[in-house]
Chain A
Amino acid sequence: MKELHEFHVDSTRYLDDHGKPLSELPPQAGNTDRVLAAYRNMVLTRTFDSKAIALQRTGKCGTYPSVLGHEVVGTAIGQGMAKSDVFVPYYRDQAAQILRGVSLRELLLYWGGDERGSAWQNCPEDLPISVPIATQCCHAVGVASAMKIRDQQRAVVCCIGDGGTSKGDFLESINLAGAWHLPVVFVVINNQWAISTPRSLQSGAETIAQKAISAGLPGHIVDGNDYFATIEALDAALGRAHGGKGATVIEAVTYRLGDHTTADDATRYRTAEDLKRAWEKDGIKRLQNWLHDSGHWSPDKEKALQADCKQAVEQAVEEYLATEAEPPTAMLDYLFETLPAALQPQRDQIANKYRGGAA
């Protein structure tokens, strides 16, 4: 028998659970400003997240999916991408979106039931959050195709969870990315859970990264709680994409430290022991330890950062709560570029119904 193809999937980790280097760090560790900016974004994201949950618990925000445990990989995505690249997120990508320029107020508006939460001012080409699982992967290859058709040196980063990789959209999209040699990076954020379904029930494949091989793409695993491993992988994959060398699949292994959403109760399906072990691998604490050990951080700096983040979040919450709902007629105003004559009577009806104030 002749062996036609063999594959390997590599896995990268630089820091142990306590932030101690396991080997020589990649060059990214030498860019102190960038590392500090990453840490700040992780702390800001976590501060925001805990506030958003509190707002939901007090009836001031709708159902919200916590980003707890995804801060490191999201930050690496946001830092790795060029401004002119296009981000195609799923719904637990707050850390990356903040770096892309989505404001905290916009994030709150979206989860607070207001479509203007996706009318992003600062990253006008990024796709809105995709709620139907994995469907965004097809958009990502479409955006990447447009870039390729126009000979642009731009790239797309598309995020998806481990559960999403079971869907055809993901497999069809990586397949096209391979066939058409597209400038796209798929980041699979493997947080071990798709609501209550563990990673082991999603696929018999030992890794998700190896699904890339079936599409003719390289697949890499990184410790998604290790900033250096994650940013190195993002930089390399985006370098490939920008250089016309095609697509990459990165499986970032982390753990969803929160419930699926505020409507979920994860104690129904996972043990406290499991969660405790996952917290020991927390990527924010790990990077903080490394910063301390490297002389870049201090308790005072930490205190100041926490205060800054809290203030930024409080201000966004204030702006969010002060934002009046759109007039109800808006439900028809953005369906088409111009309101079709056939819909004018319904718009008039809405306007009459709500005359004198919102419902």
Chain B
Amino acid sequence: MITAKRSNETRDVTLVEAVNMALHRAMADDENVVVLGEDIATNGGVFRATVGLKEAFGFKRVMDTPLAENLIAGTAIGMATQGLKPVAEFQFMGFIYAGMEQIVSHAARMRNRTRGRLHCPLVFRAPFGGGIHAPEHHSESTEALFAHIPGLRVVIPSSPQRAYGLLLAAIRNPDPVIFLEPKRIYRAVTQSVEDNGEALPLDTCFTLREGDDVTLITWGACVMETLQAADKLAEQGVSCEVIDIATVSLLDRETLLCSVAKTGRAVIIHEACRNGGVGAEVAASIAEAAFLDLQAPVVRVTGYDTVMPYYRNEQYYLPQVEDIVTAVEQVIAL
């Protein structure tokens, strides 16, 4: 097998470049890590997330598959039962549904079904979310479908540093992880990331900004608008705590509840439609465990309960900074 040398260089990278950096690192660290998907080897992925991997690690570990998402999911499961650590890419989240049966009925259950005899240390990566003027079926945010399934973790990075650290954690995790990459911010910002092989913790929220008046809870690309809203609100004298949930399943309820106990108010922001979204689980958790701490109802700022509109109208669907500011103003007034 081909393995590459490790280096600890620090680079200014975008989120998608950080994904690439983590994949290089994971493959260099562990020869059991293999990468597969459509157009990921020679082409380096349609978003270039896997660029250079085939050259560094060879076609045996970096595999262009036939165009069949169900097959990609099931093949990765079979590989994983042999102790490989496959990282399979679904080109867009809108195409992951063909693999749903494999993910739900097998990846999520293999360890339980065999009482630990076999397990699935694999990662299913998919770019997700709207905002890049993509064609139909290329802009969905359906993380709640996976968050509902016992046996899966759903992890969503929102910065280059978290993309690097969380993807390493996902690959090293001995159980299946759905790793959703917010493509709207794939290249929105660059951050300095040291390629030091250090993973970030899963099942853990990241408090991005501390505050006293209201807790803003979000994940993925909406972290960007939420931080901008917090800046605006600070100008009005409202102090916002901003929490990036990062692992939407399994939820780190403790961090959320501690924050709400301090602020007494919570606004949940997500791009996915509202009905049955992860925000509903967060809101219910707060209502169950922190009701007496609340000074105002929990409010959600989300996409609408409709089909993601084609791109000419997508900005009206996606939560905007003003929507978040308005929601916070409402809960502060109570």
Question: Of B70, B110, B113, B251, which contacts A169 at CB under 8 A?
Answer: B70
Indicate if the CB atoms of A142 and B117 lie closer than 8 Å.
no
Indicate if the CB atoms of A334 and B115 lie closer than 8 Å.
yes
**Bound complex: CA A337 to CA B151 (Å):** 10
Indicate if the CB atoms of B115 and A116 lie closer than 8 Å.
yes
Stretch at the interface among A18-26, A132-140, A261-269, A271-279: A132-140
Chain A neighbourhood of B110, CB < 8 A: 128
**Bound complex: CA A47 to CA B254 (Å):** 56
Indicate if the CB atoms of A175 and B66 lie closer than 8 Å.
yes
Chain A neighbourhood of B15, CB < 8 A: none
Stretch at the interface among A61-69, A117-125, A300-308: A117-125
Q: Which of B49-76 contact A (CB under 8 A)?
A: 60-61, 63, 65-66, 68, 70-71, 73-76
**Bound complex: CA A116 to CA B112 (Å):** 9
Indicate if the CB atoms of B75 and A118 lie closer than 8 Å.
no
Q: Which of A327-359 contact B (CB under 8 A)?
A: 334-337, 340-343
Chain B neighbourhood of A86, CB < 8 A: 82
Secondary structure type dominating chain A contacts: helix
**What's the minimum C-beta distance from B219 to chain A, rounded to whole angstroms?**
16
**What's the minimum C-beta distance from B18 to chain A, rounded to whole angstroms?**
25
Size bin of chain A's contact surface: 35 or more
Chain B neighbourhood of A149, CB < 8 A: 1, 34, 60-61, 79, 84
Chain A neighbourhood of B111, CB < 8 A: 334-337
Interface: A280 (CB within 8 A):
no
Chain A neighbourhood of B253, CB < 8 A: 342
Which residue of B is nearest A168, CB measured? B70
Indicate if the CB atoms of B114 and A118 lie closer than 8 Å.
yes
Interface: B263 (CB within 8 A):
no
**Bound complex: CA A86 to CA B78 (Å):** 11
Question: Of A137, A141, A335, which contacts B151 at CB under 8 A?
Answer: A335
Indicate if the CB atoms of A120 and B117 lie closer than 8 Å.
yes
Interface: B163 (CB within 8 A):
no
Which residue of B is nearest A123, CB measured? B117
Indicate if the CB atoms of B112 and A340 lie closer than 8 Å.
no
Interface: A146 (CB within 8 A):
yes
**What's the minimum C-beta distance from A155 to chain B, rounded to whole angstroms?**
13
Interface: A190 (CB within 8 A):
no
Contacts A135-B102, A149-B34, A336-B175; A119 near B78 (Cβ below 8 A): no
Indicate if the CB atoms of A115 and B115 lie closer than 8 Å.
yes
**What's the minimum C-beta distance from B65 to chain A, rounded to whole angstroms?**
7
Interface: B116 (CB within 8 A):
yes
Interface: B150 (CB within 8 A):
yes
Chain B neighbourhood of A116, CB < 8 A: 115
**What's the minimum C-beta distance from A150 to chain B, rounded to whole angstroms?**
8
Indicate if the CB atoms of B106 and A172 lie closer than 8 Å.
no
Which residue of B is nearest A179, CB measured? B66
Chain B neighbourhood of A132, CB < 8 A: 101, 105-106
Interface: A191 (CB within 8 A):
no
Indicate if the CB atoms of B250 and A342 lie closer than 8 Å.
yes
Interface: B77 (CB within 8 A):
yes
Q: Which of B65-111 contact A (CB under 8 A)?
A: 65-66, 68, 70-71, 73-84, 86, 101-102, 105-106, 110-111
Chain A neighbourhood of B86, CB < 8 A: 142
Indicate if the CB atoms of B81 and A168 lie closer than 8 Å.
no
Chain A neighbourhood of B70, CB < 8 A: 138, 168-169, 172
**Bound complex: CA A179 to CA B71 (Å):** 13
Interface: A127 (CB within 8 A):
yes
**Bound complex: CA A219 to CA B203 (Å):** 48
Mask, B131-142, CB within 8 Å of A = 1, is 000000000000
Contacts A138-B71, A172-B66, A342-B253; A334 near B112 (Cβ below 8 A): yes
**What's the minimum C-beta distance from A5 to chain B, rounded to whole angstroms?**
20
Chain A neighbourhood of B117, CB < 8 A: 118-120, 124
Question: Of B80, B84, B252, which contacts A342 at CB under 8 A?
Answer: B252
Which residue of B is nearest A138, CB measured? B74
Interface: B183 (CB within 8 A):
no
Contacts A127-B118, A337-B175; A176 near B102 (Cβ below 8 A): no
Q: Which of A13-61 contact B (CB under 8 A)?
A: none
Indicate if the CB atoms of A143 and B71 lie closer than 8 Å.
no
Q: Which of A148-200 contact B (CB under 8 A)?
A: 148-149, 168-169, 172-173, 175-176, 179
Indicate if the CB atoms of B112 and A137 lie closer than 8 Å.
no
Chain A neighbourhood of B116, CB < 8 A: 119, 334
Which residue of A is nearest B110, CB measured? A128
**What's the minimum C-beta distance from A183 to chain B, rounded to whole angstroms?**
13
Interface: B174 (CB within 8 A):
yes
**What's the minimum C-beta distance from A147 to chain B, rounded to whole angstroms?**
7
**Bound complex: CA A348 to CA B151 (Å):** 18
Chain A neighbourhood of B1, CB < 8 A: 149
Question: Of B81, B115, B250, B254, which contacts A139 at CB under 8 A?
Answer: B81
**What's the minimum C-beta distance from B95 to chain A, rounded to whole angstroms?**
14
Chain B neighbourhood of A145, CB < 8 A: 63, 75, 78-79
Interface: B24 (CB within 8 A):
no
Chain A neighbourhood of B61, CB < 8 A: 149
Question: Of B63, B68, B106, B114, which contacts A119 at CB under 8 A?
Answer: B114
**What's the minimum C-beta distance from B312 to chain A, rounded to whole angstroms?**
34
Most A-side CB within 10 Å, residue of B60, B61, B70 = B70
Indicate if the CB atoms of B151 and A135 lie closer than 8 Å.
no
Indicate if the CB atoms of B114 and A138 lie closer than 8 Å.
no
Chain B neighbourhood of A120, CB < 8 A: 114, 117
- Which A residues contact B (CB, under 8 angstroms)? 86, 88, 115-116, 118-120, 124-125, 127-128, 130, 132, 135, 137-149, 168-169, 172-173, 175-176, 179, 334-337, 340-343
List 20 contacting pairs A-B, 8 Å CB cutoff, sorted by A.
A119-B114, A120-B114, A128-B118, A135-B102, A138-B74, A138-B102, A142-B78, A142-B82, A143-B78, A143-B79, A146-B84, A149-B61, A169-B74, A172-B68, A175-B71, A176-B68, A176-B71, A334-B112, A334-B115, A341-B203
